[in-house]
Structure 1
Amino acid sequence: MQTFIPKGNGIEDHLALYLYVANYGSLQLGWKRRAKFSFVLLNQSGKEFYKSTELCQVFCAQVPGWGIVKALTIKKLQEKGFMEKNKLIVKVQVQILEVVVTGNETMDVGGFHGAEVTGNETMDVGGFHVLYSQAFQVSWIFVRHPDTALNFRPKSHLVKTTYMNLLLKLIEKLDKPPHSFSETELSNTRTELVDLTQTGFKLDWLKEKLDVIYLERKKTADASRIQELEQHNKNLKAELNKEKIKSAASAAKVLWLEQTVSTLKTKPNKKLKLSPN
């Protein structure tokens, strides 16, 4: 396993610590690891100044990493002098409890043999029972938008889970490029957003995202319409030029006929060679 200390990560004033399974793409299909772990921070002198609470989580292909979004504030690290030359030492204490090699084969590790991991296990995140594979995303919703479910009214866990699944689907939908939405899809998406808001979810951040999609799509549609009008104008000019050429040819023919008639009138006894045209 390996540790990541992401910069920013949506919360600029805190240090975030994560533990990921290294090279998990090379593991067999259906792999899982159940592990206990904690983070320890040391300064360059090797002095320990922070230790997180011990976590116990299941790592799998859908959720290859777990961690702490807000370990310490950057301000505290700087004020207390914990950082020497802007560097920290991170020590991770890990105990593997269970290894699932494939979807059906579970190995006993260190005398611990847990129940088979099926992928349908749930955990509580912010009062919502969600699948392990959804836990990371739901956690981030509450970290970045902590008031999202403050006024959520339904109390039944089943109903709460249903609405959370609808919210996750809506978030996924709004991640699509603006040009991929049809007018009907946009209208349906706004209806879904209104329905979720009426249950008590505070989703101003999604409304802003939807408004941006509307605006971007309108810009694209306007640009496309302008391009169509320009092409139409170009086609009209081309047709006009063709008509001008035809008109000039007709005028020349009329002039020739007038001249011929005039000549015949002035010289009635002289044979004239008429144009074959």
Structure 2
Amino acid sequence: MEDRKQTSFTFEIDNFWDKEALIRSPNFFSGGCQWFVDVYPRGCGIEDHLSTFLCVANPESLLLGWKRRAILSLVLLNVSGKRLYRTYRDGPPCKTFCAQFPAWGWADAMPLEMLQENGFMEKNKLIVQVNVQVVEVVDEAEVTGKETLDVNGFQVLYSEVGQVTTIFAKHPDVALNFIPKSQLVKTVYMKLLMFLIEKLNKPPRSFIRNELSNARMELIDLTKAGFKLDWLKEKLDEISLERKKANGDGSLSSYGFRVQELEEQVKNLNLKLDTEKVKSAKVLSLEQTVSDLRDELSKEKTRSTTTTKDVLEGVIRSWEVLDYPDLSNEEVE
């Protein structure tokens, strides 16, 4: 059984405020593999925060399908041992590391402004302590493409983890009041949210009226489920406004909408027409093939009947030619 004891790794960063580039710790061992910590003194994705990530060292050297589930926590200390910050409040998170996601961490670990306050940083030195408790080890497994990871309570496919992680990074409170508890229902709602976000990333002029109406209804449904989507509503309102501006004001606006809708309908009908033409051509080809086969079958039947008749007539003629004696009148000796 895998040793599930917690591993605590600590390293010091001297002259912290003089650093701007990525700082990487030495490797340490836990849960059957090597790890290291990346620290971004000026943030990674969030410029006004210290960012820290725990990474699996040399993941390409591990076997196909490898996985590590680990409980993580991060503590920042000054040289006096005073705890400046920790990355969790209600308990450390459990994350899954794998080939697709060999690193997890905290882009907003600590505001730089807080680090600059008097009494926090001493002697321009920061001590980083990472605690890792590996709770599951998979050295090798079959990869099907349907594997999922837990992201803030939602089970999502590996291919969707990046998008979902970005949603929570930009909007940490997006699912705080989410109502459904069923994992299947949660997965469906998360897919709907990702689909709506992708849809609203299109240029405003590419939307037709029905699309915007449908998007607004989807937004209402997601909000009723408990998602906090004020930011998405603002984007939808901006798209609606941009579209109205692009089509002019007053009567010209409705005219522009109608023209765009008709153009879209004509485009869709043309696509359907092309599809039906292909189907029709296939049907005609099949009908011709069936007709040819029927003709050939009729010919074969005729030929077969004629051949059988000729054979029978030949046999009868052969009997007539042969002079068989009448054995019925012979006496038995």
Pair 1:58 & 2:83 matched: no
Q: What displacement does 1:11 show?
A: 7.5
Return the offset for 1:18: 3.8
CA distance in 2, matches of 1:138, 1:173: 15
How far off is 1:209 after superposition? Answer: 0.7
Amino acid at match of 2:50: L
Matched-pair contact (CA < 8 Å) for 1:66–1:136:
no
Q: Counterpart of 1:78?
A: 116
Q: Residue 15 of structure 1 aligns with which residue?
A: 50
Q: Alpha carbons of 1:177 and 1:198: their partners in 2 closer, same or farther (altered >3 Å)?
A: same
Distance apart, 1:81 and its partner CA:
5.1
Normalised by the length of structure 1, the TM-score is: 0.54
Query: Quick one: distance in 1 between partners of 2:226 and 2:234?
Result: 17
For residue 130 of structure 1, what is the aligned residue in structure 2?
156
The equivalent of 2:172 in structure 1 is: 146
Give the 5 Å matches for 1:151-190. Answer: 151-190=177-216
Query: Aligned partners of 1:187, 1:210: CA distance in 2, in Å?
Result: 10
Whole-angstrom distance in 2 between the partners of 1:174 and 1:66: 28
Q: Secondary structure at the match of 2:233?
A: helix
Instruction: Rate the CA distance shift 1:212–1:51 in 2: closer, same or farther, 3 A.
Output: closer
Report how far residue 161 of structure 1 moved.
Answer: 0.7
Q: Name structure 1 gaps, 5 residues minimum.
A: 95-110, 227-277
How well do the aligned residues superpose, as a CA RMSD in angstroms? Answer: 4.6
User: CA deviation digits over 1:182-209, x for unaligned, max 9?
Assistant: 2222122112111212222221111001
Within-5 A mapping of 1:125-274: 125-222=151-248
Q: Residue by residue, what CA displacement relative to the aligned partner does 1:9-43 show, whole Å, maximum 9, x if unpaired?
A: 3574x322246799x9xx9xxx8774679889799
Letter in 2 for 1:17: T
Paired residue secondary structure (1:141): helix
How many equivalent pairs are there? 206
SS of match in other structure, 2:116: helix
* Aligned-pair identity (%): 50
* DSSP 3-state at the match of 2:156: strand
CA distance in 2, matches of 1:64, 1:156: 28
Q: Secondary structure at the match of 1:170?
A: helix
* Contact 1:4 1:17 survives alignment (8 Å): yes
Residues 29-87 of structure 1: CA deviation (Å, up to 9, x unaligned): xx8774679889799x9x9x8898797643556x57532233223234223554877x9
Give the superposition deviation at 1:128.
1.6
Bigger radius of gyration among the two: 2
Alignment match of 2:106 (pick from 63, 68, 91): 68
TM-score (norm 2): 0.46
Query: CA 1:201–1:93 in structure 2 vs 1: closer, same or farther (change >3 Å)?
Result: closer
Residue of structure 1 in register with 2:286 after alignment: none
Distance 2:145 2:173 in 1: 29
Please list the CA deviations of residues 125-172 of structure 1 after superposition, one character each: whole Å capped at 9, or x if unmatched: 222222233234323333433332233222211011111111111111
Q: Distance in 2 between matches of 1:169 and 1:7?
A: 29
Q: Secondary structure at the match of 1:155?
A: coil
- C-alpha spacing 1:199/1:112, structure 2 compared with 1 (3 Å): closer
CA displacement, residues 85-127 of structure 1 (integer Å, 9 cap, x when unaligned): 7x97989999xxxxxxxxxxxxxxxx97232333322222222
